Amino acid sequence: MYNMPESFYQLKLKPHLGMLFKLCRVYCVNESDLDDLMQEVCLQVFLSSKTFKGHAKWSTWMYRVALNVCLTFKRQQKSHELYTDSINNSSNVEQSAESLELLYMGIRKLKPLDRALLLMHLEGFTYEEIAKVLGGNENSLAVRINRLKGKVAQEINKHDH
């Protein structure tokens, strides 16, 4: 059993929980897997923190650790069924939730590294930061991101009509 110091959680993890949650959510279909994956990501970030050398920003390094945990989780899953919530247009909140779920569903259909690339872009990472984490040059990443946006838009349109 590992005890993460409260100071580590407050200073290193808490400011980035939203980013980590979004990343984990793309690799999970149900809530119990999401909770388990979030715990595993936080644990691995804590355990790996000794290897952080400062060559990249903490958030970039942490994203890479989290991505590796998510990819391992995905490989270990025996099946990966996609789901969509039933359509309910009774309120703007429900429409927003539906739109968000459609976005996640579209992203889930991408290859694992393409998911990571698009998520990093959506999280506001620069092309330079993305290149450090995933490899590649900035120009090719920009082109690839635009293509991925198009693929996700097509998936959303399929389910929106």
pLDDT digits (tens, 9 = 90+) for 117-132: 888 888 888 888 888 8
What pLDDT, on the 0 to 100 scale, is given for residue 158?
83
- Taking the C-alpha atoms of residue 98 and residue 141, their distance in angstroms, rounded to an integer, is 29
Residue 134 is predicted with a pLDDT of 85
Integer angstrom CA distances of residue 52 from 32, 60, 86: 30, 11, 43
94-106 pLDDT per residue, tens: 556 777 788 888 8
The mean pLDDT of the chain is 81
1-81 — its CATH code?
Answer: 1.10.1740.10
Q: Helix/strand/coil (H, E, C) string of 81-102?
A: CCCCCCCCCCCHHHHHHHHHHH
Q: What is residue 14's predicted lDDT score, i.e. its pLDDT? A: 93
Full-model pTM:
0.58
What mean pLDDT do residues 35-53 have?
92
8 Å CB contact between 115 and 155: no
Domain ranges of the chain: 1-81, 90-161
Distance CA 49, CA 44 (A): 8
| Residue 71 buriedness (CB in 10 A; 0-12 / 13-18 / 19+) | middle
90-161: CATH, from 1.10.287, 1.10.3470, 1.10.10, 3.30.1150 = 1.10.10
Is 82 a residue whose pLDDT tops 70?
Answer: no
93 pLDDT above the threshold of 60: no
- Each residue's pLDDT tens digit, 49-60: 999 998 889 999
